Amino acid sequence: MSLSRRDLFKRAGFVGTTLGAGFRGVRPASADVAFDSEPPAVRVAGRDVSIAIEPVGRSTTRISIVPVENRVAGEVANDGALVESARRGPVARVSRLGDPVTIASGDSRVYISPNPLTIRIDDPTGRTIQRLTIDSESAAVDFLLGDGPILGLGEGGPQFDRRGSIDRMRSGQGGYRLRTHGGRVPIPWLIGTKGWGMFIHQPYGTFDLSREPGRFSPKDAASGLPIDVFVVASAEPGRILEEYATITGFPELPPLWSLGYQQSHRTLADRDEILGIARTFREKKLPCDALIYLGTGFCPSGWNTGHGSFIFNKSLFPDPNAMIDRLHALHFHVVPHIVIRSKTLRGTVADRFDAAHPRDEEVASYWNEHRPALAAGFDGWWPDEGDPLDVASRLARIRMYSEGSRLDRPDVRPFALHRNGAPGMARYAPFLWSGDVHSTWETLKTHVPIAINTSLSGIPYWGTDTGGFIPTKELTGELYVRWFQFSAFCPSFRSHGRTWKLRLPWGWNTGELGPDEIRPNGDAANPDPSELRNAEVEPICRKFLELRYRMLPYLYSVVHECYKTGIPIIRALWVRYPDDPVAVARGDEFLWGPSVLVAPVTEKGAISRRVYLPRGGWYDYWTDERVEGGREIDRKVDLTMIPLYISSGSIVPLGPVKQYVDEPIDEPLTLAIYPGADGEFLLYEDDGKTFGYQTGDWTGIRIRWNDAGRELSLALAEGSRLRPPARRVFRVRTAPSTETREVVFTGKPVTVVW
């Protein structure tokens, strides 16, 4: 039946822009529209609403359902989570709906139908990616779970597959089983491993994944609007993660030193102890880049005079500038702990103080209180607590520590280690740790999938209190070593906890417990005294410290890849093997970058570790033995190692052992080639300190391996330049051979045949 233009509007009852959209009933958004009375208004939670459809990125559709007042559609409040530059503007707005309508949004097609209000998103092949059904009374949103594990949702909560859980998305250490699962950083970003992602930007509420369809329920109907949902349609895991980064922001690069080892301190005796510990690291040649000091309050003698104070404790830092200068002279970065005092933070460091609000609620004023201590020479911050902060305040604090540091040091990359977070935090390169967990084997085991889900949720720089924060009788040298090995493959490699001298690499063989910090708290207890003469711990810690520093060229290149693509450092096997259902379901192992499979040992007394190797060839890192994948294997282990496997076709750059990341060592990098498939790797370098890389001051060497021809080629990446030295010598070996061959690179393409 032919319909007139007027009939089209009466049937569809919506107004839309004409940005390349192909859908029925188009009318330019700039035109005044008097809706006919025939199509009924769309209503949710007792209010008239308008539905905006907007393409974002390459594969994402944004659906915004906002209240309409006096025929004017409202807006989604800006809480800082979204990258506004990614917006293209809606291709359609629907406020009256008779018959179903069809809207083209980027590569997807959106179908909207009434009674109940249903929005379906199909990909270009016609496959339904997601179907949202909105309850007209409660504003709850039902959505498809589909097949396969459901990942994401931030840090903490039930692990690994989120399917089957009901998550109220409570933030902080009271969110879910602190003892084993750590603090909760709820990120309303779901990944369906069968090819979709969904970010519910607003409102805030509960996810019920125990049913099909899943349901998202706002706190109540009054807070149910606006509804702002982003749906990603892609069968490629990398694209899904890139789209989320497009929505909320790509990770910024942290300073290179923050990827080295960080040693935390608690109760301190005096300044001599502070300097003595620093000297011991250097004398023992145990690599370390940062020394972190707790504040007074959580311990009786910390760096400052009390919670929230920026005044130095004179018994420890009688001459703060000189003390920090001495630590800098030993090539340590110095980071203090600080406890936030406010339950709300608003504004930015660039704002003027608003006298109408309490001083410690204004970001600009609160940051000014940090500045005198920063001027003494601190290199970063460890902001603790913040559980009561709302989402916008949590993000405001994270932003403050990034932008505030740049007020005084405009070209120095900032560092801050947080306990709470929010969507959009990656833009400010914050580190996150999992909170005050207990020292148990169950905690260590649980933190492997937590690492994966946190990383998939736009929080790439993550780690734990190595060894667990609250000691129990399970804290032994064995547990500490296993945790240390896991931490060596976390982006944040830091040791911290009560009875803190056992967190020193040499602390398990002194015969002394150090300050007794046990408080009555369930199973909290000091380790057995028989554990305090364990000579095995220090050499194993040394082994993994040295391994971490040798792998820094690989790690920093992977961090750069994260910065460019949004794909995190710790990766679920799903990221590379989405069509392998066994790999997708494994949450007890992970990929560290594109090439290294890490299988932490989390069982007490383990003599073997069952590892799943996806299809293709794999090389045992420790022996270079080649193993065919697509199956489970049992790898024998002892206390000195954990299973590490490198996939065929990998190119892994390794540097010399350094005591700190900037130590000048005139020794070439080694390129380890693992044959059996073609491979490619971008070796990334910059100064590791400034923002010069943003204006072209970086080196990218694109390394390719042609397996059939056994050819290795090196070329300068587009947009980069060869930073000094202008003549690079690489030692190249092809596994399993231990022999190396020198390859010289001067910036011009070079190919070598083996």
Same domain, 190 and 229: yes
Q: Looking at the structure, tell me whether residues 88 and 33 fall in a common domain.
A: yes
The whole-number average pLDDT for the span 312-338 is 97
- pLDDT computed for residue 328 by the predictor: 98
| Final residue belonging to a domain, choices 584, 615, 647 | 647
DSSP structure string for 189-223: EEEETTTEEEEEEES-EEEE-SSSSEEEEESSGGG
- Average pLDDT over every residue of 451-476: 97
Instruction: Tell whether 749 and 625 lie within a shared domain.
Output: no
pLDDT at residue 31, as a whole number? 30
State the CATH number of the domain containing residue 636. Answer: 2.60.40.1180
Return the bridge partners of 61, or none: 55, 231
Does residue 15 carry a pLDDT above 70?
no
| Contact present, 247 and 85 (Cβ < 8 Å) | no
pLDDT band at 354 (very low <50, low <70, confident <90, very high): low
Give the closest residue to 258 by CA, choosing from 293, 290, 294, 285. Answer: 290
What's residue 378's pLDDT?
98
pLDDT band at 19 (very low <50, low <70, confident <90, very high): very low
Tell me the two tokens of residue 94. Answer: 């629907």
Asked if the structure places residue 137 within a domain, the reply is yes
pLDDT value at position 657? 98
Based on the fold, state whether residues 631 and 712 are members of the same structural domain: no
3-state secondary structure of 698: coil
User: Is it the case that residue 586 has pLDDT exceeding 80?
Assistant: yes
**How far is residue 512's CA from residue 515's CA, in Å, rounded to a whole number?**
9
- Specify if 713 maps to a domain: yes
Q: Residue 22's domain is classified under what CATH number?
A: 2.60.40.1760
**Boundary residue ending a domain (248, 280, 306):** 248
H-helix segments, 499-631: 537-550, 552-565, 581-584
223-239: per-residue pLDDT in tens? 999 999 999 999 999 99
The verdict on 618 and 702 lying in the same domain is: no
User: Does 163 lie in the same domain as 242?
Assistant: yes
The two tokens of residue 723 are 């930073």
Q: Please list the residues that pair with 150 across neighbouring strands.
A: 192
Give the 3-state secondary structure of residue 620: strand
* Distance in angstroms (rounded) separating the CA atoms of residues 107 and 91: 13
Please tell me whether residues 698 and 606 are part of one structural domain.
Answer: no
Give Cα separations from 587 to 574, 580, 591 (angstroms). Answer: 10, 14, 11
At residue 355, the pLDDT reads 66
Cβ neighbours around 32 below 10 Å, total: 5
Q: How many domains does the chain have?
A: 3
pLDDT at 668 exceeding the cut of 70 = yes
In a domain, 318, yes or no: no
Asked if residue 162 belongs to a domain, the reply is: yes
Structural domain of 619? 569-647
Task: Note the pLDDT of residue 550.
Answer: 98
pLDDT greater than 50 at residue 152: yes
Residue 38: per-residue pLDDT: 63
- Position 37 scores a pLDDT of 53
Are 79 and 158 contained in the same domain? Answer: yes
Over the stretch 36-55, which tens digit does the pLDDT of each residue have?
456 789 999 999 999 999 99
Q: What is the overall mean pLDDT for the chain? A: 93
* Owner of token pair 């190119």: 651
The DSSP bridge partners found for residue 683 are 701
What's the rounded Cα separation, in Å, for the pair 57 and 61?
8
**What percent of the chain lies above the pLDDT cut of 90?**
88
pLDDT confidence tier of residue 342, bands split at 50, 70 and 90: confident
Confirm whether 435 is domain-assigned.
Answer: no
Q: Among 583, 616, 647, give the residue marking a domain's end.
A: 647
pLDDT in tens, 62-120: 999 999 998 899 999 989 999 987 778 899 999 999 999 999 998 899 999 999 999 99
What gap in Å lies between CA 173 and CA 230, rounded to an integer? 28
pLDDT at position 334 is 98
CA dist 735 and 751 (Å) reads 19
Mean pLDDT for the stretch of residues 426-455: 98
Any domain includes 350: no
pLDDT score recorded for residue 424 = 97
User: Which pLDDT score is estimated for 684?
Assistant: 98
Give the per-residue pLDDT at 34.
Answer: 39
What average pLDDT does this structure show over 160-174?
96
pLDDT in tens, 532-581: 999 999 999 999 999 999 999 999 999 999 999 999 999 999 999 999 99
Nearest to 13 by CA among 42, 47, 44: 42
In a domain, 218, yes or no: yes
Rounded CA gap, 272 and 293, in Å?
14
C-alpha–C-alpha distance, residues 224 and 218, integer Å: 5
- 192 in the same domain as 54: yes
Asked whether the predicted pLDDT for residue 21 surpasses 70, the reply is no
User: Is 37 in the same domain as 92?
Assistant: yes
- Provide the 10 A C-beta neighbour count for residue 727: 10
**620-657 pLDDT tens trace:** 999 999 999 999 999 999 999 999 999 999 999 999 99
Reported as a pLDDT band with limits 50, 70 and 90, residue 17 is: very low
Whether the predicted pLDDT of 6 surpasses 50: no
Looking at the structure, tell me whether residues 640 and 678 fall in a common domain.
Answer: no
Confidence tier at 595 by pLDDT (50, 70, 90): very high
Predicted local distance difference test score (pLDDT) of residue 264: 98
- List the single range of 16-25, 202-211, 271-280 with lowest mean pLDDT: 16-25
With beta carbons less than 8 A apart as the criterion, state whether 39 and 13 touch: yes
- Of 196-200, 357-361, 692-696, least confident by mean pLDDT is 357-361
How many of the other CB atoms lie within 10 Å of CB of 260? 24
Q: How far apart are CA 247 and CA 245, in angstroms?
A: 5
Angle between helices 271-284 and 320-329 (to 10 degrees): 10
Following DSSP, what letter does each residue of 60-117 receive, concatenated? EEEEEEEEEETTEE------S-S-GGGB---SEEESB-SS-EEEEETTEEEEEETTTE
Do 186 and 52 lie in a common domain? Answer: yes
User: Is residue 211 assigned to a domain?
Assistant: yes
Residues near 598 by Cβ (< 8 Å), separated by ≥ 6?
489, 589, 590, 591, 592, 642, 643, 644
Q: What pLDDT score does 522 carry? A: 84
The pLDDT value given to residue 11? 41
